[in-house]
């Protein structure tokens, strides 16, 4: 039996066993109702199937930690369309991970990207990327000059081959800083930085998230909060 956790330990990223399978906590919110026992409302992802469940866990309940092993690794190359090859940074052993396990994270991986591989019963069950990666735009049509409409974006191709939507000021050759935690919603929720400007989708465009004071937001380049909303800052 693995390490036992209490409900006070529940947090995003915690790996626990649920119904005999390893899960990772995606969201955890403590709830204290006016009547009745307090509980933690959670969303958890099955590390074997990728399925997501919601479960309320009463305060005081014990949960078994998932017996998984994390290994710092480096992405080397792709083997056809079937798998990706990684190398353990300590032992230098190489492991081939099926494309279905990597999922949409391939969009953010270029050769020599550092990742963390999660092993369960001797096989890789998940790949965790750095929170941020920097990828160069290899193709993007110029934006329409004079187009100042809110939330206007254009398609762009990254050096990994991924296709995303970016603000009009992004050009071919620009280096973008992308928040990988937004997952497959990159086109609508990614975070980009180029030429001192920042673009974040939805609520992530808030100044609080950017850790930049509101007085640095230039007039006329207000953050709209929608897909591809842009805020401009001095380079």
pLDDT digits (tens, 9 = 90+) for 102-143: 888 898 999 999 999 999 988 998 898 998 888 999 998 887
103 vs 233 pLDDT, higher one: 103
Q: Are residues 120 and 197 in the same domain?
A: no
pLDDT grade, residue 48 (50/70/90)? confident
Q: Are residues 30 and 96 in the same domain?
A: no
Q: Are residues 205 and 169 in the same domain?
A: yes
Q: Are residues 22 and 98 in the same domain?
A: no
Residue matched to tokens 């956790």: 5
> Residue 146 above 70 pLDDT?
no
Q: Are residues 87 and 32 in the same domain?
A: no
Question: Is the distance from CB of 94 to CB of 71 less than 8 angstroms?
Answer: no
Q: Are residues 16 and 44 in the same domain?
A: yes
Residue 164's domain is classified under what CATH number?
Answer: 2.40.50.140
- Residue finishing a domain among 82, 97, 128: 128
- Confidence at residue 1, expressed as pLDDT on a 0 to 100 scale: 55
Q: Rounded distance, CA 205 to CA 189, Å?
A: 9
- Confidence at residue 231, expressed as pLDDT on a 0 to 100 scale: 30
Parent domain of 160: 132-231
| pLDDT average, residue stretch 216-226 | 30
Q: Are residues 92 and 172 in the same domain?
A: no
> Residue 194 above 80 pLDDT?
no
Residue 26's domain is classified under what CATH number?
Answer: 2.30.30.30
Question: How many structural domains comprise the chain?
Answer: 3
| Phi, psi for residue 202 in degrees, rounded to 5 | 50, -140
- Residue finishing a domain among 12, 31, 64: 64
* H/E stretch holding 102: helix 99-102
CA-nearest of 71, 101, 66 to 88 is 71
Q: Are residues 46 and 85 in the same domain?
A: no
For the CA atoms of 162, 166, 171, 172, what is the dihedral angle to 10 degrees?
10
- 40, β-bridge pairs: 30, 57
Q: Are residues 73 and 122 in the same domain?
A: yes
- Residue finishing a domain among 24, 43, 64: 64
Min mean pLDDT across 24-28, 180-184, 230-234 is at: 230-234
Q: Are residues 141 and 226 in the same domain?
A: yes
The model's pTM: 0.63
| pLDDT average, residue stretch 93-106 | 91
Each residue of 57-70: pLDDT tens digit?
999 899 999 888 99
pLDDT grade, residue 56 (50/70/90)? very high
Q: Are residues 151 and 167 in the same domain?
A: yes
Q: Are residues 41 and 94 in the same domain?
A: no
């Amino acid at each position: 039996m693995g390490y036992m956790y209490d409900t006070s330990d529940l947090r995003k990223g915690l790996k626990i066993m649920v119904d005999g399978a390893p899960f990772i906590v995606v969201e955890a919110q403590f709830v204290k109702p006016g009547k009745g026992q307090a509980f933690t409302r959670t969303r958890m992802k099955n590390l074997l199937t990728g399925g997501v469940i919601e479960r309320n866990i009463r305060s005081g309940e014990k949960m078994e930690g998932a017996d998984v092993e994390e290994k710092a690794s480096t992405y080397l190359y792709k083997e056809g369309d079937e798998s990706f090859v990684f190398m353990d940074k300590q032992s230098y052993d190489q492991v081939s991970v099926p494309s279905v396990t990597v999922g949409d994270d391939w969009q953010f991986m270029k050769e020599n990207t550092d990742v963390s591989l999660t092993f369960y019963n001797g096989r890789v069950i998940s790949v965790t990327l750095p929170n941020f990666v920097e990828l160069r735009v290899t193709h993007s049509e110029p934006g329409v000059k004079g187009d100042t409409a809110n939330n206007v974006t254009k398609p762009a191709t990254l050096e990994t081959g991924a296709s995303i939507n970016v603000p009009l000021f992004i050009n071919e050759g620009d280096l973008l800083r992308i928040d990988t935690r937004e997952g497959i919603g990159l086109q609508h929720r990614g975070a980009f930085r180029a030429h001192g400007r920042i673009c974040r989708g939805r609520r992530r465009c808030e100044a609080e998230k950017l850790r930049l004071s509101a007085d640095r937001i230039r007039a006329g380049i207000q953050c709209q909060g929608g897909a591809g909303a842009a805020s401009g800052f001095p380079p």
